[in-house]
Amino acid sequence: MAANSADSLTPAIAADHPGVGELFAVLAYGEISAFYRLAEDAQMAPTLPGKVALASMAAAEMNHFETLHAALTARGQEIYAAMAPFVKPLDDYHASTRPSTWLESLVKAHVGDGIAADFYLEIADALDPSVAAVVREVLAETGHSEFVVHEVSAAVAASKRDKDRLMLWGRRLLGEAITQAQFVMAQREALTELVITATGDLNSIAALFDRMQERHAERMAVLGLV
């Protein structure tokens, strides 16, 4: 639960909190890395509609990056310098979860990105409204979940082997994403303080990760991976 109550007039985290710049920066690098990952994964698509779907998702990620670029610039921060501390941990995450098949790429696009969105959206209510609006905008659904759900659910209904492999893949995505989030927080003091303030305390952060696992299970179920 966020540190501020729903009816509080003052957000727990002011717009000039130093962790806000770090939050925008980690989101920005997440968006740009998602862009080129999705563009690369689109090449594995066996059909033209599949290629177009992932390319469209990549385009949406680039739009989100531009929004964060503008937000950081407005704060007087140079985006590439701001993103630099987050390059290695996020690149390491993507390197450890590189899809080897078309279906794995779809599950990662739907489930993997959803894990990250859950983490940051959990703290949005505690942010200044101007900051929260940016966070919610760049983490909004890209509008292609219906395509992913149809493709994956049809495939796993037809093949128990694919289903078993993708269930293991989904668990791996969750584990790697949580490890990466914990690493980033441990390295960035201002961002860690922001998250602790937003959630209330360290016990609340643990509860946040529990809720992320619950939502992950719900997304897996929608894909037929239960």
Domain 18-222 class?
A: mainly alpha
Confidence (pLDDT) at 215: 92
Which residues are within 8 A (CB) of 208 and not within 5 positions of it... i.e. 6 or more apart?
119, 122, 199
What span, in angstroms and rounded, lies between the C-alpha atoms of 221 and 218?
A: 5
CB 153 within 8 A of CB 223: yes
pLDDT tens, N- to C-terminus, the chain (226 residues): 444 444 445 667 999 999 999 999 999 999 999 999 999 999 999 999 999 999 999 999 999 999 999 999 999 999 999 999 999 999 999 999 999 999 999 999 898 888 888 888 888 889 999 999 999 999 887 667 888 999 999 999 999 999 999 999 999 999 998 888 888 887 888 998 998 888 887 788 888 888 999 999 999 999 999 8
What span, in angstroms and rounded, lies between the C-alpha atoms of 201 and 3?
A: 8
The distance between the two most distant Cα atoms of the chain, rounded to a whole number of Å, is: 53
What span, in angstroms and rounded, lies between the C-alpha atoms of 124 and 136?
A: 7
The pTM (predicted TM-score) of the whole model is 0.88
Write out the DSSP string of the chain. --SS-TT-SS-SB-TT-HHHHHHHHHHHHHHHHHHHHHHHHGGG-SSHHHHHHHHHHHHHHHHHHHHHHHHHHHTT--HHHHHHHHHHHHHHHHHHT--SSHHHHHHIIIIIHHHHHHHHHHTGGGB-HHHHHHHHHHTS--S-HHHHHHHHHHHHHH-HHHHHHHHHHHHHHHHHHHHHHHHHHHH-HHHHHHHHHHHSSHHHHHHHHHHHHHHHHHHHHHTT--
CB atoms within 10 A of CB 47: 10
Confidence (pLDDT) at 119: 86
